[in-house]
Chains A and B, each alone.
Chain A
Amino acid sequence: MANGHQASGVVAQRLAPEEIAANFSDLHAPLAPHEAAVAADRCYFCYDAPCVTACPTDIDIPMFIRQIQTGHPEAAAKTIFDQNILGGMCARVCPTETLCEQSCVRETAEGNPVEIGRLQRYATDQLMAAEVHPFSRAAATGKTVAVVGAGPAGLSCAHRLAMLGHDVTVFDARPKAGGLNEYGIAAYKSTEDFAAKEVEWLLKIGGITLEAGKSLGAELTLAALQADYDAVFLSIGLAGVNALRLAQEEMPGVLDAVAFIAELRQAEDKGALPVGRNVVVIGGGMTAIDVAVQAKLLGAENVTIAYRRDRAAMPASRFEQDLAASHGVKLMFNVMPTAILGDGAVTGIELEYTRIHDGRVTGTGEKLTLAADQIFKAIGQTLEGVPEGLAIVGGKLAVTGPGRTSLDGVWAGGDCASGGEDLTVTAVAEGRDAAMDIHSTLTSC
C-alpha cells in the first residue's frame, strides 16, 4: 500500500507505482503522423524567419517543417542535426515559449504559434528510431582535442570536431555522460532514458573516446591536457550551488534541489525517493519549478515556491509557472527566507515579505511561517573547479568570440562560460561554434 499524500514527515512510496509511472510520463506527448501534418501545415515559411533568429543554434525551422509536410521527416531531422546535434533533447527541454515559438508570426497573429518544439521532436524521433547516424567523418587530420565535461556543450563540440576529422577525448567527473541532460533535466521531459540513448547515438560518428570518472583538478590538470592535446575545450558546467546563508542550513530536510533531481533521475524506482508532506522550494528559476513539480509528482501534499521578487521578475517563464500551478504547486512572490525552524529535523520555515528598492530586495518586517518537512534550495549554481590562470568574469570563465578563453589553445562553452543564457540549446550552440574555431585554428598553419 502506498503511504499517501498525508503521511507526515519525509517518506518514500507515497504513491502507487502505476501513479508514479503515469506522473513521470512525457510532458508533451509525441505527435502522431496526422497531427504532425496538421501542425506542419500551419507554418508560413516566412522570409528570413524570426524563429530561426530566435533559435540559439539557428536551425532552419521553416525548411525542416516543409520537409515534414512533404513526407520526409528524416530529411527534416538532418536539417535540424546539421545545426544542433542534440536537436532531440532540445525538442524536449527548450523553453520554446521564450525562444522560437515566442517569435513565431502566428504567435503574433493568433497567440498560437506553430508547434516547433513538438515538430522537431517528431522529425528527430523518426531518424533516431532508425538507429542510423546521419553524419560521417572527414579525412583524419591527425589532430587531437581534449573536451572536459560531457554535457551538451562538450558533446556538441566533440561531435563537430570528430566530424571534421579530429580525434577527441571527452573527460567527465561523473560515471555517465550527458551532463545535466542525464542528471538535471526534469524526468518528465527526458523519459525512457532518452539522454543516455542520445549520447550513444551521437557517439556513432566515431572518433570520440569517452573517459568517465575523470575530474579536472583531481585526475586531470589543465597543463597536462594542454601538453597532451592540440586543443582543450572546457565545458564543466556549474558544479557548485549557492547557499541560503541561514543558521541550521545543514539540518536534515534541507536539500540542494539539483542534487535531489539528480538522484531522482538516476533512481531505478522513483517512488523510493523520500519526499516531504509539506515542501517549500526557495528560488524562482527552472530548477525551482522542476523540483517543486517533481515533489508533487512524488506525492507531496503541499508544495510552495517562495520567490523573493515579483512574478514579472521570475526567471522561470510564464509557461513554467503555469505548469507548476497546474500541478497544484503554490507560487508565492516577494517573500524571502529568514529562518529555518526545527530541532534536529526541519519543521518549518520563516519567511519575510519583501519589496524592491532600486532593484535591491529588502525585507518589510512582516513575517510568516510555513510548515515544512523538506526545504529545497534552488537559488542558483556556481562555477567550481576552475584551473589556475583562466580569467573569470561575472563568476564565469571569460570568453570572447567563439569561446576563446584568456589562454591560447583553451576554449570554453556552456554554463561555465560567460555570455548566453544557461540553457541546453545555448550550450550546444557554444560547443559547436567553439569546435568550428578550434578546427580553423588547428588546420591553418
Chain B
Amino acid sequence: MADLTTEFLGIKSPNPFWLASAPPTDKEYNVRRAYEAGWGGVVWKTLGAEGPPVVNVNGPRYGAIYGADRRLLGLNNIELITDRPLQTNLEEITRVKKDYPDRALIVSIMVPCDEESWKAILPMVEATGADGIELNFGCPHGMAERGMGSAVGQVPEYITMVTEWCKQYYSKPVIVKLTPNITDIRRPAQAAFAGNADAVSLINTINSITSVNLDMMSPEPMIDGKGTHGGYCGPAVKPIALNMVAEIARDPVTHGKPISAIGGITTWRDAAEFMVMGAGNVQVCTAAMTYGFRVVQEMISGLSQWMDEKGYTSTADFIGAAVPNVVDWKDLNLNYISKAKIDQDACIKCGRCYAACEDTSHQAIWMKEDRVFEVNDAECVACNLCVDVCPIEGCITMERVAPGQVDLRTGKVVEEEYANWTMHPNNPMAVQAAE
C-alpha cells in the first residue's frame, strides 16, 4: 500500500484528505471522531471576532438536488460561521491539537475587514498551537451582506490587504480560501499571493437557489414563506472547481503555488483528479455530510491502490502531472480527426445515440433494420454526444482516423502534422500572419 503522507506548506499529515471548514469541523467532539475515522487534517469551522457569536436561522438551512434513487448530487446551505463562543472554540482547538500532533489542524477565520479586528484575533489563534490559518473570503450568503466572506473575496485589493495583515501578525502558514462567485478566478488568486499568502484553497460555495416551492412561491430552503440564495456544493460543483484549480495552476503568475482543492470531492478518483490538476491536497465537506466520516477510508484505500498500480510512491510524484496538458482552445490539434464507432455486440439497442444525433446533432447515425445503429462516417463530426448519452460504458468509442486516410466527411486526406486554429486559413489572424 502506497504511503499517502503528504506535506502541504510544511504541515505533514498522514494522507491528503482534510475536512473543509464546515459543520463537520465545528467542535471538538466532531474533530476528534474525524481524526479517529482517519482524516489527515481538518480546517476548523470558521471563527468570528470576539463578542456575542453570530446566530443562525432556526428553520431549514439546506436545499438539495437529487439524482436517481435520491442520490444527493448538490447541496446548498445558508449557514453562517460558527455560532459558538470564540473562547470555547479556541480552548477546544488547543486541546485537540495537543492530542493529535500528527494531524493537520487549520483554523478558519472571518472577521471584519479592518486591521484591528485581525490584529486582535490572530494572537489568540496562534496560542492554540494550530498548524495554520485559512482566511474565509468565500462564504456567499449572510456574512457577505455584512461586508465579509465573499464580499472581500470579490475585491482583489482587499484580499491582498488582509493577507498582508495576517502575514504580519501571525507566524504560521496562511491559506486564502477563494470564492467562485467571480468572473476570473486568477485575479483573486494572484491577489492572495501578492499579499504573500502561502497557499490558496478553493472553491467555497457557489451562489445558488436549488429549487422553488411552487405552492408557496418561495425559494427552498423556505423559512416562514421566504427563502434566500445559498452556497452550492457537493458532486454537482466538481467540474467548476476543477476548472478553477486548473486555471490557477496554469496561470504563469501563480503556476506552482500551493493549492488546497475543494469542491465536490466524493471519491478517491475525484481527489486524484484535483491533485494531478495541481492541488497539493484536498478538502471535503459534502461527502462527509452525506455519508459520515467513514468515507475517508474508501478515499485512502482507493488512492493508494491507484498509486500502486501507477507506480507512484509519494503523492508528490503526481501532483500537477496533468497541468501541462490543460491548454487554450486555440492550441488544440485540428488535424486530429476521430469518428464514433458503435460496438454492435455491446449495443443494447436503446436508440438514445440515434435520437441525440438525429434530433440535435449531425444526423450521423443510421437506424437500420432490427434496430441496428451505425455511424455514418461521412457525417460524423466526432462531437462525442452519442458516447455521452449511451447507457453502456465502452459501447461507443471515438476512433482516430489515421493520418493518410481520407476523412469521409470532408473528403480530405488526414494530415500527420499538428495544426491548430492559429494556423488555420479560416482564421483572419492566421492569414494576416502568413502575409
Which A residues are within 8 Å of any B CB, using their own CB? 34, 37-38, 41-42, 44-50, 105-106, 108-109
Chain B residues whose C-beta falls within 8 Å of the C-beta of A109 in the assembled complex: 348, 391-392
Chain B residues whose C-beta falls within 8 Å of the C-beta of A49 in the assembled complex: 350-351
CB-CB nearest 3 A-B residue pairs: A47-B351, A41-B68, A47-B355
Interface string of B386-418 (1 = CB under 8 A from A): 000001100000000000000000000000000
B352 touches A108 (CB 8 A): no
Say which residue of A34, A41, A42, A108 sits within 8 Å of B349 (CB atoms).
A108
Chain A residues whose C-beta falls within 8 Å of the C-beta of B352 in the assembled complex: 44-47
B68 touches A44 (CB 8 A): no
B residues 54-80 in Cβ contact with A at 8 Å: 68-70
Docked pose: A234 CA to B69 CA in angstroms? 47
Say which residue of B68, B69, B348 sits within 8 Å of A108 (CB atoms).
B348
Docked pose: A178 CA to B392 CA in angstroms? 44
* Residue of B with least CB distance to A106: B348
**At the interface, yes or no: B354 with Cβ under 8 Å from chain A?**
yes
**At the interface, yes or no: B371 with Cβ under 8 Å from chain A?**
yes
Docked pose: A152 CA to B65 CA in angstroms? 44
B351 touches A46 (CB 8 A): yes
Docked pose: A109 CA to B349 CA in angstroms? 9
Total A-B residue contacts, Cβ distance less than 8 Å: 39
Give 11 pairs: A residue, B residue, CB < 8 Å, sorted on A: A37-B69, A38-B68, A42-B68, A46-B351, A47-B350, A47-B355, A47-B367, A48-B367, A49-B350, A50-B371, A105-B350
Chain B residues whose C-beta falls within 8 Å of the C-beta of A106 in the assembled complex: 348
B351 touches A38 (CB 8 A): no
Chain A residues whose C-beta falls within 8 Å of the C-beta of B68 in the assembled complex: 38, 41-42
* Residue of B with least CB distance to A41: B68
A50 touches B349 (CB 8 A): yes
Chain A residues whose C-beta falls within 8 Å of the C-beta of B371 in the assembled complex: 48, 50
B69 touches A44 (CB 8 A): no
Chain A residues whose C-beta falls within 8 Å of the C-beta of B392 in the assembled complex: 109
Docked pose: A42 CA to B350 CA in angstroms? 13
What is the minimal beta-carbon distance from B220 to any residue of chain A, in angstroms? 15
A44 touches B350 (CB 8 A): yes
What is the minimal beta-carbon distance from A103 to any residue of chain B, in angstroms? 9
Docked pose: A108 CA to B349 CA in angstroms? 9
Docked pose: A109 CA to B350 CA in angstroms? 10
Chain A residues whose C-beta falls within 8 Å of the C-beta of B391 in the assembled complex: 44, 105, 109
What is the minimal beta-carbon distance from A119 to any residue of chain B, in angstroms? 15
Chain A residues whose C-beta falls within 8 Å of the C-beta of B348 in the assembled complex: 105-106, 108-109
What is the minimal beta-carbon distance from B35 to any residue of chain A, in angstroms? 35
* Residue of A with least CB distance to B392: A109
What is the minimal beta-carbon distance from B80 to any residue of chain A, in angstroms? 33
A37 touches B351 (CB 8 A): no
A38 touches B354 (CB 8 A): no
Docked pose: A4 CA to B392 CA in angstroms? 53
What is the minimal beta-carbon distance from A61 to any residue of chain B, in angstroms? 13
* Residue of A with least CB distance to B351: A47
Chain A residues whose C-beta falls within 8 Å of the C-beta of B350 in the assembled complex: 44, 46-47, 49, 105
Q: Besides the contacts A37-B70, A50-B371, what 15 more A-B pairs have beta carbons closer than 8 Å?
A: A34-B70, A41-B69, A42-B68, A44-B391, A46-B350, A46-B352, A47-B351, A47-B352, A47-B367, A48-B351, A49-B350, A49-B351, A105-B350, A106-B348, A108-B349
A38 touches B69 (CB 8 A): yes
What is the minimal beta-carbon distance from B374 to any residue of chain A, in angstroms? 14
Chain B residues whose C-beta falls within 8 Å of the C-beta of A45 in the assembled complex: 352
Docked pose: A49 CA to B367 CA in angstroms? 13
Between B349, B355, B371, the greatest number of chain A beta carbons within 10 A of the residue's beta carbon is seen for B349
Between A45, A105, A106, the greatest number of chain B beta carbons within 10 A of the residue's beta carbon is seen for A105
Interface string of B333-377 (1 = CB under 8 A from A): 000000000000000111110110000000000010001000000
* Residue of A with least CB distance to B389: A44
Chain A residues whose C-beta falls within 8 Å of the C-beta of B349 in the assembled complex: 46, 50, 105, 108
Docked pose: A45 CA to B371 CA in angstroms? 15
* Residue of B with least CB distance to A103: B349
Between A44, A47, A48, A50, the greatest number of chain B beta carbons within 10 A of the residue's beta carbon is seen for A47
What is the minimal beta-carbon distance from A71 to any residue of chain B, in angstroms? 11
Docked pose: A41 CA to B371 CA in angstroms? 23
Docked pose: A48 CA to B358 CA in angstroms? 13
What is the minimal beta-carbon distance from A34 to any residue of chain B, in angstroms? 7
Docked pose: A50 CA to B354 CA in angstroms? 14
